[in-house]
Structure 1
Amino acid sequence: MMEYVFVLNYMTVISVCYGASIGGNNVCTNFQAYSNLQYDRKHCHYNPDVDSTPFQIAERYGYKLEDHQVETEDGYILTIFRVRKIGDNLENRQPALLQHGILVDGVSWMISGKDSLAFTLVANGIDLWVPNSRGTQFSSKHVNSSISEKDYWNFSFHELASKDLPAIIQYVSKSTKRKDLIYIGHSMGSTSVLVYSTLHGDHAKEHIKGIICLAPVAYLRSLQGIARLAVPFYPLIKEILEVLGLYALGQFTALQKFILSFTCSKFPLILPCQIINALSTGLAVEQVRPDILPLIMTNFPSGTSTKTLYHYSQIFLSGGNFQWYDYGSAKNEILYNSTKPPDYDIEKISVPVHIFSGKRDFLATHEDVKYLYSRLNCSKEFHVYDLAHNDYAYGKRVNKLYSDILDVMKNKFNTGYS
């Protein structure tokens, strides 16, 4: 153990010394330029967002973050960012929620600079609320537990849907005095709202006027990439992690996060980091931004439970059934009155849904998203783009996508925002 600590400390010293020698440059516009980060002034520059808090990032582009705390029914303390243009009056603005995916948090919607989706929505008249899911760095508190305890991590996306979203939506509705929210969710943020709208149909119908699902993960039938190779080993991985007492992912120390961030933002390791990312989530070459990876790695990973990954793995291994968590035959019989977990009845969703699908997506594959769309009985529309899974937040050419999202909000959901 002492040797491990020594190695980490040694790497940190080397990292700091090396970082101090690069003359301020910390991002480059192509991967090869990272090999000459210190001297390449044509392709490399200093981006202050890399080491900034979300509050500093927002202020840099003329916005202000308010942080609001919400307590869920089961005692988790969540932080919601309210994003506003400095000096703007929020009266009569259309309220919307922008929910992040797995292993990231609300900052993911702000690290693409002034053109980030969060700032784009606010600039176009939206009263934007950006929640941080339980377990992430901004929502890691609980009234009776702590992140160091096993009980804290006893949740999957089911609890994000059944506990977090009702509390968040209720809070935003009360704060804005509006019951016509628009929900935008990416990846697990879409999973959660689909489950929420199934479990709490009346609540959803009362408070939400429209749902936008970006790369929704639900029916995992044609998963691709690294995830497809890893998921069959899920039972073994689960057993090993439980023996080791590991129930959380992404709960790194500041030191460990620094080393990961440093490693994946310097040549040559930035290249395998990008390759791993592409093999995990998909690749649309024209969307790749070499200058964004250091910002992503500064904030990645943000915490979640291993149970969340088990839940997704279970769905794939079941043949792609979008179903409740599988506790094993005996406990399932007690909880569900069946040896197998029930499917989520998304046919019950009554709120209008617009689904955005990427043809290069390895996680929410185009085939799986089309199948999800076919199962919905509500008012719905389908939008297709040449995108990989994370391009919705980090893509290079997403102006058309963001314009289309705004068009749906204004013309399909009749927001009438200014």
Structure 2
Amino acid sequence: MYLWDAFKSYKSFLRLLAGSNACAIVPAATVTGAAAAFVNCKTCRIPKALMLAGIRLELNRGGTNTNRHPVNTKVRIPAGMACTLFVAYFCVGVMRLPLFALLIFVPMSAASQDVFDYLFRSASDLGKSITDPFFELARGILQKTEPILITDPDAIAANKGVDYYIRYKGYPVETHKIRTKDNVTLTLHRIRGAPGSIPVLLQHGVMSSSFDFVANLRSQSLGFILYDEGYDVWMLNSRGNKYSSESGRTKKHFYEFTWDELAAYDMPDSIDYVLATTGHRKLHVVGHSRGTTIMIAMLASKPEYNQKIRLAVLLSPVVFLTGVSAFVQNLITVFSNPAVRYAIDVWTENRPLFTNSRADLAYFTSNPSLCSARLCPFANDLSGILLSNNGNHNQSRLAVYSTHFPAGTSFNDLKHYMQMYHSKRFAYFDYGSTARNLHAYGSVRPPSYDLSKVTAKMLIFYSKDDAFISVEDGARVSQLFKNNIYKNTAILLPCSGFVHMDFLWSVNAKKQLYNMVIKRMHEYDEEHRRR
């Protein structure tokens, strides 16, 4: 790893910060950041308090303050909590920064790399053993603030789990555990419809969970709306999120999965389970973001499942990534840097990436206590990746969302998307090793999925302001599957400011999106009922 590559990565990181509309999330495990936050810890003011619990730095672009929701600048952080977090972050930085610097600036032979790998992993393991107890303690301290800070009854209920929350909302709920063919336990949450009602399987995106389909009010959440329309609603939790992290395989290899495994096992095995349980031969499948990737990959690699799907509903379909926003491009550049990628690989070994369900760094940027006090990233626009200040969101539900987001994934899952961006192919995961690729695929280069085998009828929806899926990429998907589209329903949503998570969280999604989805589903069901 040479200095120039490190410098390019650093420049991308600065562009990443500069491109943020109102705030940026900076990794908290830096000695300087922790030290700055530690100063005057008894009366830490924003952004110092946020640097400690985040870190979140508010930025202006072009001299204009874009933060439309200013937060209280007199928030106090208990000294004990400040000390706990400071020690934890200090240990993280001290244990890894010298070796990480060595990786960046010193070219190495193969033998030296093996020695370095051993030293770095040993330091990382030691660092985890030191910092994890501090993270757990800090998490416990924050959780003790929940009875004081969390006042929204929905957030309180959501914090107790999806099944409790659905029951609290007055709907019948069941929790189903299934074992995939590769020995992973998945959790499906079911809002059970009337006897004989047609099943619908909902598949979430990256770092999400079944909760995101019921996160808004009853009249705004797709899961509840589908049940009210007479459907039997099944919500899948993919492996690696907070509800599906049990595995019969060794824990060491569990978090090496990509969306290849989700397409090969999670979705098809869940479809088989739902059909066997309900007695139906076909079901509707709705996917958002990565959920669409999984669906397309499954239908291409297991074409027999085309016959098991009534309508495949693609919300923000991720098949091509040629038109992502500048913010996302810079994010990909940072995470594609070999040194950064290696460090994250080591840090996330045997554990998920980005989950607030445990003492992970993500918890200290997104949890119900912080969001109730409007101190979490959701309080501002993150360059259109999650939310935007355009009237599509109920800002009072930030704490509700943060009970389950982020819900966790693997770093390989994100690397697979980075490979899609760089290669411009819808292909299997590249292990970065000739031997591993040959063993997995019989070829040095991972093969592309054969999209000609996708024959299921589809509904496709995409928007103009999605940071991940550009209008051009959405139109390209629609053109690719033009013979599959049911009743010409490949729609560029006309509303402006409709961003990636609006497909699930927008208060206007029912009017702008769900009504058409349900109309087409009813029409399809009626047509095939007559046959």
Aligned identity (percent) is 24
CA shift, 1:330, in A, is 1.6
Aligned to 1:42: none
Choose from 300, 303, 306 the match for 1:205.
306
Contact 2:158 2:165 in 1 (8 A): no
Whether 1:119 and 2:224 are equivalent positions in the alignment is yes
Aligned to 1:40: none
Distance 2:429 2:266 in 1: 17
Structure 2 unmatched runs, 5+: 1-83, 89-132
Q: TM-score, normalised by structure 2?
A: 0.67
Choose from 324, 341, 345 the match for 1:238.
341
CA shift, 1:286, in A, is 2.5
Contact 1:121 1:128 in 2 (8 A): yes
Whether 1:53 and 2:161 are equivalent positions in the alignment is yes
CA shift, 1:71, in A, is 0.9
Distance 1:154 1:198 in 2: 22
CA distances 1:96-138 after superposition (whole Å, capped 9, x unpaired): 1011111011011111121211010001100111111011111
Aligned to 1:74: 182
Aligned to 1:327: 431
Aligned to 2:71: none
Distance 1:258 1:328 in 2: 31
* Structure 1 residues 268 and 293, CA gap change in structure 2 (3 angstroms): closer
Bigger RCO of structures 1 and 2 (CA < 8 A, at least 6 apart):
1
Whether 1:389 and 2:389 are equivalent positions in the alignment is no
Aligned to 1:84: 192
* Structure 1 residues 347 and 21, CA gap change in structure 2 (3 angstroms): same
Aligned to 1:156: 258
Q: TM-score, normalised by structure 1?
A: 0.84
Alignment of 1:240-389 (within 5 A): 240-244=343-347, 246=349, 248-252=352-356, 254-256=358-360, 259=364, 260-262=366-368, 264-267=370-373, 269-270=375-376, 272-275=377-380, 277-281=382-386, 283=388, 285-318=390-423, 320-328=424-432, 330-331=434-435, 332-376=437-481, 378-380=483-485, 381-385=489-493, 386=495, 387-389=498-500
Contact 2:459 2:517 in 1 (8 A): no
Q: CA-atom RMSD, angstroms?
A: 2.7
**SS class of match (1:137):** coil
AA partner of residue 165 (structure 1)? M
Distance 1:410 1:388 in 2: 27
Structure 1 unmatched runs, 5+: 27-44
Whether 1:25 and 2:130 are equivalent positions in the alignment is no
CA shift, 1:157, in A, is 0.7
Whether 1:195 and 2:297 are equivalent positions in the alignment is yes
CA shift, 1:84, in A, is 2.5
Contact 2:178 2:187 in 1 (8 A): yes
Aligned to 1:16: 144
AA partner of residue 261 (structure 1)? N
Deviates more, 1:362-371 or 1:177-186: 362-371
What is the total number of aligned residue pairs between the two structures?
387
CA shift, 1:68, in A, is 1.2
* Structure 1 residues 329 and 287, CA gap change in structure 2 (3 angstroms): same
Choose from 224, 233, 252 the match for 2:325.
224
Distance 2:343 2:196 in 1: 53
Distance 1:52 1:245 in 2: 26
Distance 2:210 2:154 in 1: 23
AA partner of residue 213 (structure 1)? L
Choose from 165, 171, 177 the match for 2:273.
171
Distance 2:422 2:227 in 1: 40
Distance 2:345 2:525 in 1: 45
